[in-house]
Amino acid sequence: MGDYALLYILFAPFVGALALIFVSNRQAMLVRGIAAGSAFVSLIASIYLFYAYDPVRGGFQFVQKFEWSRQLGISLYLGVDGIGTPLVLASSILLFAGIFVSWHVKDRMKEFYIWILILAAATIGVFMSLDLFFLYFFYEMSVIPMYLLLGMWGSHTKKYLEMTDAEGLKQRDSVGFIFNFGSNSKEYAAMKLVLFLSAFAVAALMGILLIYKYSGLNTFDILVLREQAHLMNIPVLGTTLDKIIWVLIFFGFASIAPLWPLHSWSPVGHAAAPAATSMLHAGVLMKLGHFSIIRVAFEILPETTHEMMPMAAVLCMFSIIYGGFVAFYAKDTKYVIGYSSSSHMGYVFLGMAALDYISLSGAVIYMFAHAMATGMLFAMAGWVYDQTHTRDIPSLGGLSNKMPFISGCFVVGCMASIGMPGTVNFIAEVMIIVGSWNKYPFQVVVAVLGIVLTLAYLFKMMRGLFYGPMDQKYSHSHDAVSAVDRLPLLIMISVSVGFGLFPMHLYNVVRSGVDPLIARITHVVPVASAPAIDSPSPSVQEQLAARGVQLQPERMTE
């Protein structure tokens, strides 16, 4: 596998999707086998990548570069550091688990698996890209499968199903339902997702193009731009160009994170999406925002990041508290988990805003940990919905008698989301809180209150679903008994608990990516006049070495 691990991980899902085009939906087991096989190849290569990555050496490893346009300075340039490596692993785990969670899909099964594979491959492409053009390309590619998966295989909310006019006639087939904010349909959720993400993605694209134009380097290469870009003190509209670019990049990508007040598309999308899509949506799609901000704003605009990130420290409080309170009062299982995810992404922004080695490492680990915990919860919410055909918590109850395995796994998922010791979430939360305390003590107090709120709404949902009296109309419900149904949950639980008990390799990998990045941001040394990255002058080398940055000659292959 060696040097080509990234190509296996990225293109195995694409190859699987391409192969499925030539298979009939009537060949159900062959369709499932191709989807599971391609996801398995990606997973095995991701595991190899994670353990073969050398944290002592650090930097970008397993690099592959294929020139796409010399005139425009665009290349398919792939590589992972300590930040991207665990997120690639999380994407592959959730893809493989999602294939089995969707094992019983019957409606256009082939097309469903094609779009799931493309969605996961697109997120993986973002985490690997060292070229701004392809980072944005994969970022936008992820929106298309989400629209189709929600609009074609999603489900309507209870209010939508009850939607009538004054005469009592059903109005669900009218054009107006798309714009009815109180009666959300799956079409409305899909359209809202696309409009939100596309609109803010345009802002991010403007920031990327401004970097390309005013850097004067005629390249989208992130490694070259981070060392040689000398753009940014140009006066524009009463401020400077670097701040305008930073704001465009930050808010353009923060919408997918989702940071308050740009969050409203996300819980609606969670509620409408099929289980596997919700897993990928919450587990990795939302992390594209944090990762892209780190990869673009932190790497290329370190001085501006140091100056502007306090804004994120303010907004993250609203994300944590607002999302938590709405989750507490929500009555739909997917809305509870969806708003919980929006709330928890505030912790990642807090860890990023503190600009501390410990806090940022905790933020990256939390992105990985949240992917496993939320993946579990959405998978189980999907199972409950498949058995009962409702997500209305007050109408459910007592399901633990019918679903002992699912209810037991649900307890583990809730404990992981809360941050119970023994899960990797606990380690990440402690690192964020400890690393952020010196700079943002008030925000840390809010974050701790958010953890208490998380415990309240998750326990409330767990009690409402699995304990108390059960309505006899759900007596036909049954537990996950087959290996296919249990495998995805066991994988995610094993990863969450395994890294919670043995976190050191994960920690070392993440720190190898975080340390040089924080050194660049907190030890501000001008590098505007630096010569080419392949042959820096001794003085520039000394400056960069003093702040923990090691220049890797052009293509740092394994």
Quote the CA–CA distance of 92 and 518 in Å, as a whole number: 28
Distance CA 420, CA 427 (A): 9
C-alpha to C-alpha distance for 256 and 281, rounded to whole angstroms: 10
State phi, psi for 301 to the nearest 5 degrees.
Answer: -120, 60
Rounded CA gap, 162 and 158, in Å?
A: 6
Structure tokens at 132: 């701004």
8 Å CB contact between 275 and 227? no
pLDDT tens per residue, range 327-362: 888 888 888 888 888 888 889 999 998 888 899 999
Q: Which two tokens stand for residue 137?
A: 């390309």
What is the model's pTM?
0.84
| CA-to-CA separations, 247 to 76, 205, 517, in angstroms, rounded | 26, 12, 19
Q: Which residues does the chain have with pLDDT short of 50?
A: 160-161, 163-169, 171-183, 524-558
Q: Is 238 exposed, middle or buried (0-12, 13-18, 19+ CB in 10 A)?
A: exposed
What backbone phi and psi angles, to 5 degrees, belong to 64? Answer: -130, 135
Chain-centroid distance of CA 322 in Å reads: 20
Quote the CA–CA distance of 13 and 115 in Å, as a whole number.
10
- Percentage helix, strand, coil for the chain under 3-state DSSP, each rounded to 5: 70, 5, 25
pLDDT tens track for 212-267? 888 778 888 888 888 876 655 665 555 678 888 888 998 888 888 888 887 777 77
| Alpha carbons 113 and 117: distance in angstroms, whole number | 6
Q: Contact 304/524 with Cβ under 8 angstroms?
A: no
DSSP element (H, E) containing 68: strand 61-69
> Long-range contacts of range 384-392, CB-CB < 8 Å, 24 or more positions apart?
384/333, 384/465, 385/155, 385/275, 385/333, 386/104, 387/474, 387/476, 387/477, 387/478, 388/474, 388/477, 390/158, 391/158, 391/271, 391/332, 391/333, 391/334, 391/335, 392/158, 392/331, 392/332
| Neighbouring-strand partners of residue 76 | 66
Which residues lie below 8 Å from residue 59, measured CB to CB, with a gap of 6+? 81, 512, 516, 550, 552, 556
What tokens were used for 194?
A: 């696309």
Give me the pLDDT at residue 229, please. Answer: 65
| pLDDT of the residue at 156 | 66
Provide the mean pLDDT of the chain. Answer: 81
